Chains A and B, each alone.
Chain A
Amino acid sequence: MLSVKRITKIFNTGTINEKVALHDVSLKLDEGDFVTLIGSNGSGKSTLLNCIAGVYPADRGSIVIEGKDITNLCEYKRAALLGRVFQDPMMGTASDMEIEENLALALRRGKRRGLRWGITSPERERYREILKKLGLGLEDRLNIKVGLLSGGQRQALTLIMATLKEPKLLLLDEHAAALDPRTAKKVLGLTDRIVNDSNLTTLMVTHNMRDAINNGNRLMMMYEGKIILDIKEKEKKKLTVEDLLERFEVASGKEFADDRALLS
């Protein structure tokens, strides 16, 4: 499904601020895998996601999705294969545009855009149905500006947009981190539902150990630009936070020190 081979990404090459964000990272996701990717600040997890999404090119290595080499494809062309939700709730939607306009933009992801109407009536019905299932009361507000929604509502909408046209791979970049705990839980619940309903291959970056353990069928941990743990299926089901901390220490030779990951 997704195959990342020996990706290296260095920022500020040749300067005093040189930072190796990704060091020879390889990973393989199978069809339907839901991987949670955890690591502390600066471990390279967001960089990995951004390299896959094409926000910036990798310095070395290759990225293949379903047999298609996308290593040198620019961001907007890769978008045909990818659904993305960002950490910042403002990032995933156009705030001055209506809910239905945002959805209509997302429905046409990867398609050639022409001079047909931007939204059609049957589409509107479909949006109403989908939003109804969310239970946020948005189905009657298709025409309000997205800027008027709360952060949680915007993330829920972005999640719908990312999966409206089924992506080959769903990339979630700490998409619940900027929300209050109650709202974050709702958004994560919604994530689980959508991913399971359509059996989407998903890579979810998170800061939160508990979320990383409770979601998905596979857990990876990054440290200093490398993937140091890859825990699968059965083994992951039995995993506890204590186990994870212990295995981190064994794998990295250091004590895990990230208050945000531990306390939340």
Chain B
Amino acid sequence: MLQILTAAISLGLLWAIVTIGVYITYRILTIADLTVEGSIVMGAAIAAISITRGINPYVAIILAFFGGLGAGLITGLLHTKLKIPSLLSGILTMIALYSINLRIMGRANISLLQVDTAYTVFEEMGLRSTVSVILLGLIIVAGIVGVLYWFFGTEIGCAIRATGNNPQMVRAQGINTNTTIILGLMISNGLVATAGALIAQSQRFADVQMGIGSIVIGLASVIIGEVLFGRRGFASRLVSLVLGAIVYRVIIAMVLKLGMPANDLKLFTAITVAIALSLPVFRSYLKPLKKSIKWGK
């Protein structure tokens, strides 16, 4: 039981990075960006091929990050410069990435069983592999949360946040909304690709199919985080995303343990997300609208 739990937590920590990426597009930019499904594989593919060619696993993670930035850039350009709807832009990049990922890897999957990964250092210190993943995962997630907290407080970060909220107002304040949208998409996909690189190394293989459903898993985690831990300040928001991703993995582990066939997993996740997304509709029947504050005091 404990073993299942630690495995779920380790996986959840890595998927927390995907969740943060999905949050940036889905909640901050209010774009459902399907590029994620391709960029997570891209990160895995870049990391796998780099490591098998003898590149340092940490350098491989950074290379994966830059690959993700590129994927986000393409989606952003399709959407802003060529005026293709955001959902379709993401789908186009996702499909294109399928071929690109096959080209990067040269085949459909790459095994990482025989090589050193980013976790090897920790395993050599005598830690079990899941514990190593948790340790490195924690370090990287903490770093990302810290950097993003800083970034979204800067002038550029504030402009990105406002863009998803009211693009008309943002342009009236002299900000190029094309730039802020592209930046947001790049950061999001850069993070997702980083997660892909870390996931591939922890499961010790990269597979061209491994991205299927990742956007839904990301959304599920975002929503679980919001439902369980609220939607207060930005710092607690970021932490709630991490916790949401972990709780999602724990739930899945429990459901599998209770005997649900693994093949039904995606169906289960899809239904969960559908219910969670429709919660506001149900809630509006129960709760009166929030009151506004009157003039003066």
Contacts and interface: CB of A to CB of B under 8 A. Distances in A.
16 contacts: A76-B171, A76-B177, A93-B169, A94-B170, A97-B165, A101-B158, A106-B173, A109-B173, A114-B155, A116-B154, A116-B155, A118-B155, A118-B158, A141-B293, A149-B292, A161-B173
Given A94-B165, A105-B162, A110-B174, A153 B295 contact: yes
A192 B177 CA distance: 32
Interface residues of B, number: 29
Interface string A98-129: 00011011101111011111110000000000
A168 to B, nearest CB: 13
Contacts of A144: 293
A61 interface: no
Given A118-B154, A150-B295, A94 B169 contact: yes
Contacts of B151: 115
A93 B162 CA distance: 9
B259 interface: no
Contacts of B170: 94, 105
Interface string A131-168: 00001110001001000111011000000010000000
Given A97-B162, A137-B296, A117 B153 contact: yes
A20 to B, nearest CB: 25
Interface string B140-183: 00000000000101111111011001101111111111000000
A76 B293 contact: no
Contacts of B295: 136, 150, 152-153, 183, 186
Nearest to B231: A96
Contacts of B107: none
B155 A91 contact: no
B290 interface: yes
A84 to B, nearest CB: 5
A79 B83 CA distance: 22
A214 interface: no
A135 to B, nearest CB: 7
B165 to A, nearest CB: 4
B24 to A, nearest CB: 14
Contacts of B296: 135-137
Contacts of A92: 169, 172
Interface in A50-87: 53, 75-77, 79-80, 82, 84, 86
Contacts of B168: 86, 91
Contacts of B175: 76, 79, 105, 113
A117 B293 contact: no
B153 A118 contact: yes
Counting chain B CB atoms within 10 Å of each CB, the highest count among A105, A115, A148 belongs to: A105
Given A105-B159, A113-B156, A115-B156, A153 B293 contact: yes
A114 B165 contact: no
Which of A80, A95, A115, A186 has the most chain B CB atoms closer than 10 A to its own CB? A115
A90 B151 CA distance: 26
Given A116-B155, A118-B157, A136-B296, A79 B169 contact: no
A77 B297 CA distance: 38
A95 B168 CA distance: 12
Given A105-B173, A109-B173, A95 B165 contact: yes
B283 interface: no
B57 to A, nearest CB: 29
Given A101-B161, A115-B155, A119-B158, 15 more contacts: A76-B175, A76-B176, A79-B173, A90-B166, A92-B172, A96-B165, A97-B158, A101-B162, A104-B158, A105-B159, A106-B173, A114-B156, A117-B155, A118-B155, A183-B295
A101 B159 CA distance: 10
B53 interface: no
A109 B173 CA distance: 5
Q: Shortest 3 CB-CB distances between A and B: which pairs? A: A79-B174, A118-B158, A113-B155
B294 interface: yes
A114 B297 CA distance: 37
Contacts of B294: 150
A110 B292 CA distance: 32
Nearest to A114: B155
Nearest to A84: B172
A94 B28 CA distance: 12
B172 A113 contact: no
Interface string B254-297: 00000000000000000000000000000000000010111111
B80 to A, nearest CB: 12
A70 to B, nearest CB: 13
A79 B167 CA distance: 13
Nearest to B172: A84
B11 to A, nearest CB: 31
Contacts of A152: 295
